[in-house]
Amino acid sequence: RAIEASLKYEITVVLKGAHTQIVCPDGKVFVNSTGNAGMATAGSGDVLTGIVVSLLAQGYSPQNATIFAVYLHGLAGDIAAANFGFEALTASDIVDNISKAYKLIYSKNE
């Protein structure tokens, strides 16, 4: 259904889960490698939406903004879980680790 909706309405669809999937209007499906069970918490989706919108505002295409946001969101959640454990993870913990996730991503690309 997600692929059908993406193609029909020319939208990018995010299926949040243990391995979040991004379905693109061109029919491509990307599976995210970051994130953990602790991210199934109130407000986590709102944080992800905020990251997507901030990347769109910076000029990223909808597809690239979504792919990068999902990866960054999951990585920030992984960093938070490593520090606090995933059982007590909150959306604020994810937000607090976004800058660390950015630094980690960009340090790998240097």
Q: Is residue 23 part of a domain?
A: no
CA 58 vs. chain centroid, Å, equals 16
pLDDT by position in tens, the chain (length 110): 899 999 999 999 999 998 999 999 999 999 999 999 999 999 999 999 999 999 999 999 999 999 999 999 999 999 999 999 999 999 999 999 999 999 999 997 76
Give the number of domains in the chain. 1
Q: Is residue 57 part of a domain?
A: yes
Q: Is residue 22 part of a domain?
A: no
Show the domain range for 96: 34-108
Strand partners, 31: 21
The answer to whether the beta carbons of residues 94 and 44 sit under 8 Å apart is: yes
Q: Is residue 60 part of a domain?
A: yes
Q: Measured between alpha carbons, how far is 82 from 8 in angstroms, rounded to an integer?
A: 40
- pTM for this structure? 0.93
Q: Is residue 61 part of a domain?
A: yes
The single-letter DSSP state of residue 11 is -
